[in-house]
Amino acid sequence: METGLTGRTVVVTGANANIGRGIALAFAAEGTNVVIVGRDERRGQQVRETLLGAGAKDVLWQAADVTDRAQVGAMVAAVLARFEAIDVLVNNVGGNVDIDAFVDTDPETWQQDIALNLLSTLNCTHAVLPGMIAHGHGRIINIGSTAGILGDPLIAVYSAMKGAVHAFSKVLAKEVGKQGITVNAIAPYGTLPTGSDDVSSGSRWHANGLFARLGATRREELHSIGRRTVLTRQTAYPSEIGAAAVYLASDTGAFVTGQVLAIDGGIQLA
């Protein structure tokens, strides 16, 4: 498939691990300039070398907390200074900070889930849109979740925020389509890191991360969130999310906008 992506500039937030790293690798293989945004600089530099080896034209590591509007503005300014334009934005940062029945949750965790999943997407999108509109071209890909489609117990606010990401993608697609910009969302189900080299210090899969802590103390509750696919495999690979992102960003996917593409092994069929 001829994607037309060679030489274009792609920003991937949360690109240090798991889904984000898989997306960054997929774009690197297309010969793009890849900007990896995260908070773990040591890990970011490791991923940078990996992407260069995978075929990226150029790779820029840019540290930023994308829940902070000022840091996002500085990140975008640095990217534009290096590459002049941003052709593709992948809003991948997200996650939940804990699991609990909503009645037992702390409002502080609501704010963290809102910032991590929705505010991060709004901040980055708002920062790159003027440039895309000026160039008359752009691709925005938001990473949602099947939790935002079906709703998962014990992660009510996370589910709500991913549903908001899906709705935002549809509305924005209507607003900017005439400016040559497409906006889509990808809704993965469970996606596991491919190994120890696919985990950063900020990942929920880190040895000190959320899932490790829950697995040690609240394993049954953690497992209760799980759903069964209709396939022999129960989780996605980061590379599969990356392939979907490449398609939606490509010239081949230029007529696709306002969609939520579920990569879920058929869990919605049950």
- Report the predicted TM-score, pTM, of the whole model to 2 decimal places: 0.91
- Residues 119-155: tens digit of each pLDDT: 999 999 999 999 999 999 999 999 999 999 999 999 9
* 158 is an active site residue: yes
Of 49-53, 211-215, 217-221, 245-249, least confident by mean pLDDT is 211-215
State the amino acid at position 177 in one-letter form.
G
Q: Which residue has the tokens 């489609």?
A: 149
- Residues 170-208: tens digit of each pLDDT: 999 999 999 999 999 999 998 877 655 545 455 555 445
- Calpha distance 178→83 (Å, rounded): 24
Instruction: Pull the structure tokens for residue 128.
Output: 């790159």
CA dist list (Å): 114 to 12, 123, 162, 268 = 19, 12, 9, 25
H or E segment and range at residue 149? helix 147-150
- 69 by Cβ neighbours in 10 Å (0-12 / 13-18 / 19+) ranks as middle
- Residues 17-70: tens digit of each pLDDT: 999 999 999 999 999 999 999 999 999 999 999 999 999 999 999 999 999 999
Where do the domains of the chain lie, and which CATH numbers do they carry?
9-269 (3.40.50.720)
- Residue 9 φ then ψ, to 5°: -110, 125
85: left (phi over 0), alpha (psi -120 to 50) or beta: beta
pLDDT at position 226, please?
Answer: 79
- Choosing from 158, 189, 237, 247, which is the catalytic residue? 158
pLDDT at position 62, please?
Answer: 97
